[in-house]
Amino acid sequence: MWFLLCPIYAKKDSVPLRSNTPSLDRGARLVISLHSRWLKLRKFCFILMGSVLIAAAGWAGEPAVTLEFIAHAAFRVVAEDRSSLIIDPYADRVWLSYDFPAGLEADAWLISHPHYDHDGGDYRGKKPPWPVDARVLRYPGEFEVGAFRVIGIQGLHAEPYGEEFGRFNTVWRIEVGGVSLAHWGDNEPLTAPMAKALAGVEVLMLPVDGVEHLLSFAAVEEIIERLEPKILIPMHYRHPDLEPSAETPKNLGEIDRWAATRKDVVRVEDHRLELEADILAREGTAIYVMLHSPLVEAPSR
């Protein structure tokens, strides 16, 4: 313990030694000198410990960026100042069997494209999960939201889906707290312009599932090799604990078949991931498979 390094005194010992004699022998002068040095050492120890406590209080504060996996392709990103974004909320019980959690708040809602599992059902005329006065971003451009710099990059929805709205898809690049993140939406395999626009991204949220619903395993591998993110977070896969049968949702696989082909998988036993320097300083790409939010529950039978 720190206090074992610092001298502790009784109150009477904190008073400097005095002598009524006009002169002190050598032994007395040595005692006074050692006592004075001991007091200085004690003062130094307390100053040092105070600095350590102040630093520790800073380390124990909010992380610069927290990423929360809601479920499916929906995430919430929270900055150190508590400003936040929600990306691609899904509609309640359309294709997926579960509901989007009520009451989630954000400074802006980012929508990659108008499929019901990414826009809260808004395109289909369903009531979306955001309030009527919410800031909703859908299209390419650059935006400032709280602590976030948000860049929408024009892409194309993976074939054969999305023809009803021209295969429109916005890939979102997010810069916050010194961290660069990207959300793929349902974009097609990597193109040269997209690779250039996403250069330097550290955290990539990418659709991956066991039946290659949107991207083939080969396309996923190419994205990892060319973009070299520090962390890849799979999304847009089947959650077996949220579905009533093995047949739902149709044509969407679980993550385990793909994850079994990788040696660099980290199973995060939480729906939150604090994006701190130590996990972003690693070599190569780590695959972080996260739990969905506990706010998302299986439908009652």
Share of the chain above pLDDT 70, in %: 79
- Indicate whether 54 pLDDT > 90: no
126 and 161 housed in the same domain: yes
Q: Same domain, yes or no, for 26 and 118?
A: no
24, 45: one domain:
yes
116 and 43 together in one domain: no
Does 277 lie in the same domain as 149? yes
Average pLDDT rounded to a whole number, residues 71-97: 98
Residue 97 lies in a domain: yes
Give yes or no for residue 101 having a pLDDT over 50. Answer: yes
Q: Maximum Cα–Cα distance for the chain, whole Å?
A: 104
Residues 38 and 75 in one domain: no
CATH number for the domain including 264? 3.60.15.10
The residue from 24, 39, 59 where one domain ends is: 59
Please give the full DSSP string across 202-247, using - where no structure is assigned: -EEEEE--TT-SSS-HHHHHHHHHHH--SEEEEES---GGG-SSTT
The whole-number average pLDDT for the span 133-137 is 98
- What is the dihedral sign for C-alpha 240, 241, 243, 247? positive
- Indicate whether 51 and 112 sit together in one domain: no
Does residue 219 sit in the same domain as residue 256? yes
d(C-alpha 82, C-alpha 106), whole Å? 9
- When divided into structural domains, the chain yields a total of 2
> What tens digit of pLDDT does each residue of 241-274 get?
999 999 999 999 999 999 999 999 999 999 999 9
**Alpha-carbon gap, residue 38 to 248, rounded angstroms:** 74
C-beta of residue 296 within 8 angstroms of C-beta of residue 97: no
Are residues 129 and 187 both part of a single domain? yes
Report phi then psi at 44, rounded to 5.
-60, -40
> Is position 167 within any domain?
yes
pLDDT digit string, tens, across residues 161-213:
999 999 999 999 999 999 999 999 999 999 999 999 999 999 999 999 999 99
Domain that holds residue 13: 2-59
Specify whether 255 is located in the same domain as 203.
yes
pLDDT of residue 298: 94
Domain membership flag for residue 255: yes
Asked, for residue 296, whether it belongs to a domain, the answer is: no
Residue 209 sits in the same domain as residue 146? yes
Judge whether residue 22 has pLDDT over 60: no
Q: Identify whether 27 is part of a domain.
A: yes
27-36, 87-96, 98-107, 126-135: least confidently modelled range: 27-36
